[in-house]
Structure 1
Amino acid sequence: MSILILNALGLTLGAPLFQDLSLTLHPGDRIGLVAANGCGKSSLLRCLAGAEEPTFGTLTRGRGLVVGLMEQEVPAGLLGLSLRAAVLAALPVEEAEADGWRADVVLEELGLPSALHDQPLGSLSGGWQRMALLARVWIGAPDLLLLDEPTNHLDLQRIAVLEGWIKGLPRSMPLVIASHDRAFLDAVTNRTLFLRSERSVMFPLGYTRARLALAEADASAGRQFENDMKKADQLRRQAAKLKNIGINSGSDLLVVKTRQLSERAEKIEAAARPAAKDRSAGVIRLAHGAARAKALLGLEDALISSPDGRVLFKTAQKWIERGERVVLLGANGVGKSCLIRAVQAAIGGAPGSIRATPSLVPGYMDQGLGQIGAAETPFGAITTRFDLGDGPARSVLAGAGIAPDWQVRPVATLSGGQRARLALLALRLARPSFYLLDEPTNHLDIEGQEALEAELQAEGATALIVSHDRAFVRAVGTRFWQIIGKTLVDVEDAEGFFRAAAG
């Protein structure tokens, strides 16, 4: 039984996003939707939900199908409501008044603490707001769940809860999940759709295995295209030789043969299709500056405090040497970001028990991308911070995937992906010898995450990193510090912490 059928679906919003997309969704399908930022994932989900009309093709839903779409942003009108009221508001008024208990059941099922139920939604963290959006969808009892970046702003414990909840759904419940969280996709999906502007492709595999299959298919298509082009070229050379002979000899048969060879070459060229290339959202290549000292940062039993002055933990005696990428582990609220801020202050010259070598050049990226002001423009941010002329500034911004018309708009109007690429561009231009990265993969698509991983793995990259992205942590970490109780301790790897977070 099919739940939803797409036939030659295409969508154009200013520019073509995707075309000729055909697939059938069946009960039990858990599809991971993967593409670069700006390539149409959210728009496709909205088409599936009926909130947006495709430009081409047809979309057929099963009779009576109830579709629940969890979008990325909280509607502004809900922020002043309590968490419970915001969830109830997803129901028709008469149902919300008669069946208020449904909100309590859904909130409990999703693990939202009762202490939060009466708090304004706008006062809650981004992670709790994400769970509230999911609760608003689930209270409507959908037959099909569409989730747009559901792990954004969630810590590892919340991600584990979400994974457990999805795995606990009836096996027949279909889902389509757009996500850049590779470990999450591996945990909860059984099919992967790589959305492309042309020739999107589906594999009946989770993300990691599907990515390997995609690479193999693309390589095979590339080889086939090269062989086809060589064959067409050979036919054209043969046709050219026969044409000369035919002209000199006056043979009508050779003229006909020449035409046939040329037509065969044209048919091969018309049918040949180059290997698909995913549209890049912009290329950022980090550049590492040199630092002369072996140990770039030293912690001499420093006391790390909260903004209100409470001592959170002691660091003991630790240091970070050139080429080390230290990942800081710990539950939310134990002080990871406080340590990042304390290190940032020490690099800036603040006295204390954290010391940075004088030759250290810092590069900082926070999880809110607040290092660049919301009222600044990308062009202004780059030209005021770095010695670049107008032309080079526009060129590097375009290379980072920020089109000319967006370069002069306030940063606040950019998408999360655009702001993340702007922040990475600023890191590149600063040529740091030491990276301070607080949730750097937030808002980055998978291509951007992998590019950042590759750059950090390059020789000479030194970093202190806070991240809830398990795939990113596993790829880049060379040392691991964990906040346990009131102490910062070295641990062998992050796997024990991941297991504990998953319960």
Structure 2
Amino acid sequence: MALISLKNLGVTMSAPLFSNLNLVISAGDRLGIVAANGRGKSTLLRCLAGALDPTTGDITRTRGLRVGHVEQAVSAALLERSFHQAVADALPPDQADHELWRVDVVLDSLDVPEAMRERPVRALSGGWQRLALIARVWVTDPDVLLLDEPTNHLDLAKIGQLESWLNALPRDVPVVVASHDRAFLDATTNRTLFLRPEQSAVFSLPYSRARQALDEVDASAERKFQRDMKVAQQLRRQAAKLNNIGINSGSDLLTVKTKQLNQRAERLEDAALPAHRERSSGAIKLANRGTHAKVLITLDDVSVETPDGTPLFRTGKRVICQGDRIVLLGRNGVGKSRFVELIRRAIAEPETVAQPVKVTPSVVLGYSDQALSGMRADDTPLAMLSRKFEVGDQRARSLLAGAGVSIEMQERRIGALSGGQVARLMMLALRLANPNFYLLDEPTNHLDIDGQEALEAELLAHQASCVLASHDRSFIRAVGNRFWLVEKRKLTEVDSPEAFFRSVAETAG
């Protein structure tokens, strides 16, 4: 049964985000929406929710349909409310007094601990704030659920929990998910919409299989376009020859024939559709200055501790070698980020590290943390680049444009950029630092799928040595060649991340 129908839908801002979109959302659908940063995913969800009118086309909803829309941002009005109150506030006024039990049912289904329920939203982690937004919508008992980047800020355990919760929902409730998390899309969707300015494509497949199908469609379209253009060129060459003969002989018949050939070529050229070319959100390129050292860092049973000195885990004797792409695995709170920070200080501020960490003198660090704190919000991209790397104004502007920071954004505050733009700006800064060792904490946060794949390709192409902490399962599988698991207060090396992924999923289920 069709609950929402889109006919020739289009939205244009400064340029078309999407156009001529025809789509039906029915009971049982689990639809993933995929597009680059800033290309219309959130806009389409707002249209589906009735919060935004499209520029062109029509949306038809079944009468009385309740649409639940989970947006990305937490409103300021919720920050001082407790987790429980924030969810209860979403109940309609006529239910607020006598149906508070709904709140506890939803919070139980999301495994929210009792102590967490009384904390103010402001004091919650980004992951728990995300689950609070989902709970607020689900308590209203919607007929359709719209989720905008639901895995942002979630660790692997909470992502697994969210996957289990979505897969346990009543099958007649359609779920529409806009996400850059490839593994999450594969686990929770059965249809995929690739949103494009023109010719958006829908497949009745989860993301990875849909992506393969899309690549085949695009390749076929490109072959047809090249064939059509080749035929059009041949027709024009024939027309030119006949035209010369006709002029020399004065033949009216050849003149008519020439005109007909040119008209056929024009019709073919007008009808020929080039394959879709994704407009880049900004290139991601890395560098690797290399080193002759085989061993870059040696850890002699290092104790990783909290800022107040509480032990978290011990590393045992470990070495990080050239060409290693080490992924840190472990649940939230075990100390992965503290370990990354310890390595950073051992390289950049060795006098602050009392632990037995030996760093080869030739190591040059490229570092990015979860918060992208190397990018000051009150700085401008142009000033930051010019100051840090002593590149001229024209060169800085060219580099920024290539990284997806447009001319008009280059002298605005970095705080005004989107998360995707700041992430690409950080990647540009890493490239200009020309390191031979990368230390990256959640590097795919804020990157769209094209950006994630570009980062993967660069790390592999440059055979970059790195230590990575990430919750992105697709990224971990693509990049890692060594895996260090932090568990039960110790670090052990494992052959693959899959057993850890399974253990997290089983706990969540």
Report the TM-score, using the length of structure 1 for normalisation.
Answer: 0.98
Q: 2:229 maps to which residue?
A: 229
Distance in 1 of aligned mates of 2:98 and 2:183: 40
Post-superposition Cα deviations, 1:348-387, rounded to whole Å, max 9, x if no partner, equal 2234311211111101111111121121111122111112
Quote how far apart the aligned CAs of 1:90 are.
Answer: 1.6
What is the SS of the residue equivalent to 2:22? Answer: strand
Which AA in structure 2 matches 1:422? L
Do the aligned partners of 2:346 and 2:357 also contact (CA within 8 Å) in 1? yes
Amino acid of the structure 2 residue aligned with 1:333: G
Distance 1:367 1:273 in 2: 42
1:293 maps to 293
- Whole-Å separation in 1 of the counterparts to 2:68 and 2:137: 5
Match of 1:367 among 366, 370, 376: 370
Match of 1:181 in 2: 181
> What is the count of residue pairs matched by the alignment?
503
Q: Which amino acid aligns with 2:114?
A: S
Q: Give the aligned partner of residue 427 of structure 1.
A: 430
**Partner of 1:243 in structure 2?**
243
Contact 2:287 2:462 survives alignment (8 Å): no
Give the % identical residues: 57
Give the 3-state SS of the residue equivalent to 2:97 in structure 1. helix
CA–CA distance in structure 2, aligned partners of residues 144 and 279 of structure 1: 31
Structure 2 contact 32–176 (Cα < 8 Å) conserved: yes
Instruction: Give 2:307's aligned residue.
Output: 307
Structure 2 spans left out of the alignment, 5+ residues:
none
Residue 213 of structure 2 is matched in structure 1 by 213
RMSD: 1.0
Aligned to 1:50: 50
- The answer to whether the 8 Å contact 2:232/2:265 transfers is yes
* Contact 1:323–1:459 (CA under 8 A) maintained in structure 2: no
Superposed, 1:329-368 pairs within 5 Å as 329-348=329-348, 349-350=350-351, 351=353, 352-368=355-371
What's the counterpart of residue 387 of structure 1?
390
- 1:331 partner SS: coil
Tell me how far apart the structure 1 counterparts of residues 149 and 211 of structure 2 sit (CA, whole Å).
19
Unaligned runs of 5+ in 1: none
Q: What is the identity, as a one-letter code, of the residue corresponding to 1:291?
A: T
- Rounded Cα–Cα distance in structure 2 between residues aligned with 1:489 and 1:498: 16
Q: Contact conserved, 2:365 with 2:435, CA < 8 A, in 1?
A: yes
Contact 2:442 2:470 in 1 (8 A): yes
1:393-435 CA-to-partner distances (Å, cap 9, x unmatched) read 1111111111112112222221111111111111111111111
* CA distance, structure 1, for counterparts of residue 292 and residue 383 of structure 2: 32
Which amino acid letter does the alignment assign opposite residue 403 of structure 2? A
Distance 1:120 1:463 in 2: 38
**Inter-partner Cα distance in structure 1 for 2:266 and 2:249:** 26
Letter in 1 for 2:429: A
Q: For the residues of structure 1 that align with 2:423 and 2:410, how far apart are their CA atoms?
A: 14
Q: Report deviation, 1:295.
A: 0.7
1:37-83 C-alpha deviation (Å, 9 max, x unpaired): 01010011001101111111111111111111111111111111111
What letter is aligned with 1:433? N
CA distance in 2, matches of 1:378, 1:82: 38
1:500 aligns with 2:500: no
Shift of 1:292: 2.3
- TM-superposed CA distance for 1:94, in Å, is 3.9
TM-score by length of 2: 0.97
1:460 deviates by: 3.2
- What corresponds to 2:475 in structure 1? 472
- Distance in 1, matches of 2:244 and 2:370, equals 68
Over 6 Å off, 4+ runs: none
Which range moves more in the overlay, 400-409 or 210-219? Answer: 400-409
Structure 1 residue 453: Cα displacement = 0.4
Aligned equivalent of 1:11: 11
Aligned partners of 1:164 and 1:439: how far apart in 2? Answer: 23
> Secondary structure in 2 aligned to 1:98?
coil
- 2:191 corresponds to 1:191: yes
Structure 2 partner of 1:444:
447
1:123 alignment counterpart: 123
